[in-house]
Amino acid sequence: EIVMTQSPATLSVSPGERVTLSCRASQSVGSNLAWFRQKPGQAPRLLIYGASTRATGIPARVSGSGSGTEFTLTISSLQSEDFALYYCQHYNNWPLWTFGQGTTVEIK
């Protein structure tokens, strides 16, 4: 099993600030990495796939980077809708798809 480790567990930031979330894979997943945002009571929403491609409707202030085992999600200027729970997930080789444990971005 490929273990996905996200850090930190929680980020406390102010609106307008820049934030960077990390996701590390226990072995290489190439660029088969996605990021999701989940708000309370809602389904996850795809933000980034292929490690760095924004999904439809995702603004340019959201960006992803990395390959292999190290990945980051950056939000350049936090808006109210960005305060949520974020998951990374690799989809390198079914049935080994796994999610990270999540990072909560909360208002400082």
Partner 1 sequence: EVQLVQSGAEVKKPGESLKISCKGSGYSFTDYWIGWVRQMPGKGLEWMGIIYPGDSDTRYTPSLQGQVTISADMSMTTVYLQWSSLRASDTAMYYCARVYGSGPINQAPAYWGQGTLVTVSS
Calpha distance 105→3 (Å, rounded): 22
62, 76, 99, 104: residue in contact with partner 1 (rule CB under 8 A): 99
Q: Which is nearer to partner 1, 37 or 82 (CB)?
A: 37
7, 26, 65, 93: residue in contact with partner 1 (rule CB under 8 A): 93
Q: Where are the beta strands (DSSP E) in 1-108?
A: 4-7, 10-13, 19-25, 33-38, 45-49, 53-54, 62-67, 70-75, 85-90, 98-99, 103-107
Residues 6+ apart with CB under 8 A from 19: 11, 13, 74, 75, 78, 82, 105
Size of the site for partner 1 (CB under 8 A): 23
At residue 80, what are phi and psi to the nearest 5 degrees? -60, -35
Q: Which is nearer to partner 1, 83 or 99 (CB)?
A: 99
Query: How many residues does this entry show for the chain?
Result: 108
Contact map string, positions 39 to 78, toward partner 1, x by CB under 8 A: ----xxxx--xx----x-----------------------
Q: Which is nearer to partner 1, 76 or 92 (CB)?
A: 92
Q: Is 49 strand, coil or helix?
A: strand
32, 52, 67, 72: residue in contact with partner 1 (rule CB under 8 A): 32
Site residues, partner 1 (CB under 8 A): 32, 34, 36, 43-46, 49-50, 55, 87, 89, 91-95, 97-102
